[in-house]
């Protein structure tokens, strides 16, 4: 396989695909050279050891990792003696047992720009494929995320789950998986008995229709306070919920409306966040059958104890404590519903993997129900995975009390709007400031959330996330806007000829090479994100690329460059950079802006 018509052919290495990741080709070329010099190693074996180099080195191979015995320095010398440069690899030096390789710049730059353009714009499908791979072909993953509770706060845990879950959905799709995304609403449980009771006293149909999420929460807060003072209210709520569980239509009627209106409202808000679900399911939709069977099975295994009529499962042996599976009045609970829900999902989707994106506060809950499914000997039980994340301190509006997603979105938009107004001249040129400020505000929230490892806690800061300086969402949007403007400003150079007909031999500046190389690493960034389930690597990539571009602006100019061949090569590079930065932002669920 060759990435370029005039390049030497390369052997195939499993798990690589130079037609989607140019750097795979360069790594294979390096591996082949080492394998030729040291025939005891196959190209495939060496390939696993071709790593990115540090400080200006393209690739490094640490020979000791192959445990060949003998003197590694001598092996390194053998590789160097036998080395012959070609169109892929230009040079090698050794530093004790480490071999450092440099790729040939013209090949590197041209083949990366070509691939970015081809896969972004010229695929048989709609394009937008640079960075993607087909590793997950034929495999199905179910991703459950967001999962707020109706009539309760949409807290920051739900926000993080939404942001991370939507990102994971994109990553799996980018890696060729068949993805089923679902929102598992907290739409069942005693609190709905409580709201039913409260609604008779505090509810208003009008307020409900205006904003179901907010109104139900208000009712919940009030009736909950009543229940704390008066146990009769609590008991009435329990009786009501029991009727719901028994399928009593008169008890379910209002609840159905609440659920529907809440979902509608959520859908609008998710849409603003560029988040979409294949299914809205919920605790209410989990059938009884499997919940009962789970209990029976665990009883047979001697793991169930009866405590005052409630059924508890004993997981002490696995240091997971004891957990209630069924209440005294026979009603189900969160844990049982999760067990039943997982089984039903397997029957429906036969997934190869199922991911739950849930805050680390629920680590114990998830390990309990994963364990129970294992004890029940479902062969697919080890296909479940909990993607967890840390806490966020201080998410509230500036006035102090945000509990609703729409308030957070509004606040982000209005802060950005104020920021933008400060620059009057620029502001006047923005076509739709409402939309633009909302997008940038949301980008700020998302980038702040995804910038560090999931498990880290962080404190929510409007000032930090809405600044155009430093590593923020607005900065990334600005970088994309600036790159987008280059086409508008240089119509004389467009449209560009086909990649093969663009002469890039002048693109030799270190900054140009760095930008090209970085773009070349993007397919690797996507693969790593799939493995680690971490968005932070993609965020870091977006910043590195943006920084590299911003240091190139001054020296690698397009407008004012008298040599047209040179100018054309440069604009091509910037357009590719826009495409790759755009791809990274989209992967992060962000809608890149063209103007601001
Ligand atoms: N609704 C739950 C909550 O807000 C989160 C649901 C997480 N998913 C699950 N399958 N348990 O705490």
Rg (Cα) of the chain, in Å, rounded? 28
What confidence score (pLDDT) does residue 136 get? 97
Task: Report the complex ipTM.
Answer: 0.99
Q: How far is CA 283 from CA 8, 198, 459, 488, in A?
A: 58, 21, 31, 51
289-314 residue pLDDT tens: 989 988 998 999 899 999 888 999 99
Which token pair is 453?
Answer: 């490892």
313-368 residue pLDDT tens: 999 999 999 999 999 988 889 999 999 999 999 999 999 999 999 999 999 999 99
436-474 residue pLDDT tens: 999 999 999 999 999 999 999 999 888 888 998 999 999
Q: How far apart are the first and last CA of the chain?
A: 43
What confidence score (pLDDT) does residue 3 get? 45
399 pLDDT exceeds 80?
Answer: no
What confidence score (pLDDT) does residue 396 get? 66
408 pLDDT exceeds 50?
Answer: yes
Whether 162 is in the pocket of ligand 1, judged by its Cβ within 6 Å, is: no
Whether 338 is in the pocket of ligand 1, judged by its Cβ within 6 Å, is: yes
Tell me how many domains the chain contains.
2
Question: In terms of Cα–Cα distance, which of 173, 47, 26, 175 is closest to 112?
Answer: 26
In this structure, are residues 259 and 282 in contact, taking their beta carbons and an 8 Å threshold?
A: yes
490-512 residue pLDDT tens: 999 999 999 999 999 999 999 99
Whether 233 is in the pocket of ligand 1, judged by its Cβ within 6 Å, is: no
In this structure, are residues 9 and 43 in contact, taking their beta carbons and an 8 Å threshold?
A: no
Q: What's the 358 CA to ligand 1 centre distance in angstroms?
A: 7
Domain annotation covers residue 431 = no
What confidence score (pLDDT) does residue 44 get? 97
- Average pLDDT (14-29) is 96
DSSP 8-state class, residue 437:
H
**Chain centroid, CA 172 distance in Å:** 9
Q: What's the 280 CA to ligand 1 centre distance in angstroms?
A: 13
Which residues are CB-contacts of 260 (< 8 A; sequence separation ≥ 6)?
Answer: none
Domain boundary among 68, 103, 138: 103
Domain annotation covers residue 256 = no
94-115 residue pLDDT tens: 998 999 999 999 999 999 999 9
- Structural domain span for residue 467: 441-587
Domain boundary among 103, 134, 151: 103
With cut-offs at 50, 70 and 90, classify the pLDDT of residue 198. Answer: very high
Q: Are strands 322-326 and 353-357 parallel, antiparallel or unpaired?
A: unpaired
Which token pair is 508?
Answer: 């030799």
CA atoms of 51 and 62, how far apart (whole Å)? 8
Phi, psi (rounded to 5 degrees) for 460? -70, 125
Active-site residues: which are they? 152, 155, 158
What confidence score (pLDDT) does residue 69 get? 85
Domain annotation covers residue 120 = no
The residue whose CA is least distant from atom 6 of ligand 1 is 147
Instruction: Provide the percentage of residues in the chain whose pLDDT is more than 70.
Output: 98
Helix/strand/coil (H, E, C) string of 311-354?
EEEECHHHCCCEEEEECCCCCECHHHHHHHHHHHHHHHHCCCEE
Nearest atom, ligand 1, residue 358 CA: 7
**What CATH number does residue 539 fall under?**
1.10.730.10
Domain annotation covers residue 542 = yes
The residue whose CA is least distant from atom 4 of ligand 1 is 148
Q: What's the 363 CA to ligand 1 centre distance in angstroms?
A: 11
- Average pLDDT (419-427) is 90
Q: Are strands 98-103 and 89-95 parallel, antiparallel or unpaired?
A: antiparallel
253-284 residue pLDDT tens: 999 999 999 999 999 999 999 999 999 999 99
Averaged confidence pLDDT in the chain? 94
- Average pLDDT (79-103) is 96
Question: In terms of Cα–Cα distance, which of 252, 195, 192, 186 is closest to 220?
Answer: 195
What confidence score (pLDDT) does residue 84 get? 95
Domain boundary among 103, 135, 161: 103
Domain annotation covers residue 507 = yes
DSSP-assigned states of every residue in 83-129: ----SSEEEEEEETTEEEEEE-HHHHHHHHHHHHHHHHH-SSSSS--
In this structure, are residues 537 and 131 in contact, taking their beta carbons and an 8 Å threshold?
A: no
What confidence score (pLDDT) does residue 397 get? 61
- Average pLDDT (208-220) is 92
Which token pair is 568?
Answer: 């054309």
What confidence score (pLDDT) does residue 1 get? 38
Substitution site in 184, 213, 373, 403 for ligand 1 pocket (most atoms within 8 Å of beta carbon): 184
Q: What's the 330 CA to ligand 1 centre distance in angstroms?
A: 21
Question: In terms of Cα–Cα distance, which of 150, 141, 140, 138 is closest to 280?
Answer: 150
- Average pLDDT (374-395) is 93
Q: What's the 186 CA to ligand 1 centre distance in angstroms?
A: 7
Which token pair is 403?
Answer: 């509990």
Which token pair is 476?
Answer: 């990334």
Substitution site in 285, 362, 372, 391 for ligand 1 pocket (most atoms within 8 Å of beta carbon): 362
Whether 369 is in the pocket of ligand 1, judged by its Cβ within 6 Å, is: no
135-173 residue pLDDT tens: 999 999 999 999 999 988 888 899 999 999 999 999 999
Domain annotation covers residue 41 = yes
7 pLDDT exceeds 80?
Answer: no
Domain annotation covers residue 416 = no
Cβ-count burial of 371 within 10 angstroms (0-12 exposed, 13-18 middle, 19+ buried)?
middle
Domain annotation covers residue 482 = yes
What confidence score (pLDDT) does residue 70 get? 83
567 pLDDT exceeds 60?
Answer: yes
Q: Where are the alpha helices (DSSP H) in 466-552?
A: 473-489, 510-532, 536-552
4 pLDDT exceeds 60?
Answer: no
**What CATH number does residue 11 fall under?**
3.30.1360.70
- Average pLDDT (588-594) is 97
Question: Looking up tokens 């409202």, which residue turns up?
Answer: 265
Cβ-count burial of 314 within 10 angstroms (0-12 exposed, 13-18 middle, 19+ buried)?
middle
What confidence score (pLDDT) does residue 407 get? 87
Question: In terms of Cα–Cα distance, which of 456, 462, 407 is closest to 440?
Answer: 462
């Amino acid at each position: 396989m060759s990435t370029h018509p005039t390049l030497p052919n390369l052997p195939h290495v499993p798990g690589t695909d130079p037609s989607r990741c140019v750097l795979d080709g360069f790594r294979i070329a390096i591996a082949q050279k080492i394998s030729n010099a040291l025939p005891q190693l196959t190209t495939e074996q060496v390939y696993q050891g071709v790593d990115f180099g540090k400080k200006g080195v393209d690739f490094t191979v640490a020979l000791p990792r192959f445990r060949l015995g003998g003197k590694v320095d001598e092996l390194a010398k053998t590789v160097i003696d036998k080395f012959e440069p070609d169109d892929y690899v230009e040079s090698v030096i050794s530093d004790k047992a480490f071999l450092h390789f440099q790729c040939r710049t013209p090949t590197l730059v041209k083949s990366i720009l070509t691939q970015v353009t081809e896969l972004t714009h010229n695929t048989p499908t709609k394009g937008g494929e640079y960075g993607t791979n087909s590793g997950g072909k034929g495999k199905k993953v179910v991703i459950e995320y967001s999962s707020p509770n109706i009539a309760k706060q949409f807290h920051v845990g739900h926000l993080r789950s939404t942001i991370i879950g939507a990102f994971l959905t994109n990553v799996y799709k980018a890696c060729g998986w068949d993805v089923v995304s679902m929102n598992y609403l907290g739409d069942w449980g005693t609190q709905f008995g409580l709201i039913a009771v409260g609604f008779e006293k505090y509810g208003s149909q009008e307020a409900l229709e205006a904003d179901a999420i907010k109104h139900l929460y208000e009712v919940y807060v009030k009736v909950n306070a009543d229940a704390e003072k008066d146990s009769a209210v609590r008991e009435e709520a329990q009786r009501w919920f029991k009727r719901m569980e028994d399928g009593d239509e008169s008890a379910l009627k209002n609840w159905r409306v609440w659920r529907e209106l809440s979902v509608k409202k959520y859908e609008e808000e998710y849409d603003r966040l560029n988040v979409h679900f294949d299914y809205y399911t919920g605790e209410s939709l989990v059938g009884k059958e499997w919940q009962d069977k789970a209990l029976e099975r665990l009883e047979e295994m001697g793991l169930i104890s009866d405590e005052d009529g409630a059924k508890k499962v004993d997981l002490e042996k696995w240091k997971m404590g004891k957990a209630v599976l069924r209440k005294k009045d026979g009603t189900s609970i969160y844990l049982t519903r999760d067990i039943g829900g997982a089984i039903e999902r397997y029957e429906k989707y036969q997934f190869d993997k199922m991911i739950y994106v849930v805050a680390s506060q629920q680590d114990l809950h998830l390990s309990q129900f994963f364990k129970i499914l294992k004890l029940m000997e479902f062969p697919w039980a080890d296909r479940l995975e909990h993607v967890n994340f840390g806490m966020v301190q201080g998410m509230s509006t500036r006035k102090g009390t945000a509990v609703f997603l729409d308030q957070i979105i509004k606040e982000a938009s209005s802060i950005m709007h104020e920021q933008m107004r400060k620059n009057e001249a620029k502001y006047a040129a923005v076509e739709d400031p409402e939309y633009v400020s909302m997008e940038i505000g949301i980008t700020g929230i998302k980038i702040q959330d995804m910038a560090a490892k999931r498990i880290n806690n962080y404190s929510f800061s409007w000032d930090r996330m809405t600044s155009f300086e430093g590593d923020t969402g607005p900065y990334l949007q600005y970088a994309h806007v600036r790159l987008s403007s280059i086409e508008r400003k240089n119509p004389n150079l467009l449209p560009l000829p086909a990649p093969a007909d663009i002469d890039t031999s002048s693109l030799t500046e270190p900054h140009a090479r760095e930008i090209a190389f970085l773009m070349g690493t993007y397919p690797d960034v996507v693969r790593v994100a799939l493995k680690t389930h971490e968005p932070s690597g993609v965020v870091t990539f977006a910043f590195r690329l943006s920084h590299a571009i911003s240091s190139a602006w001054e020296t690698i100019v397009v407008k004012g460059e008298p040599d047209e061949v040179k100018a054309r090569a440069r604009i091509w590079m910037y357009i590719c950079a826009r495409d790759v930065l755009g791809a990274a932002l989209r992967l992060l669920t962000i809608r890149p802006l063209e103007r601001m």
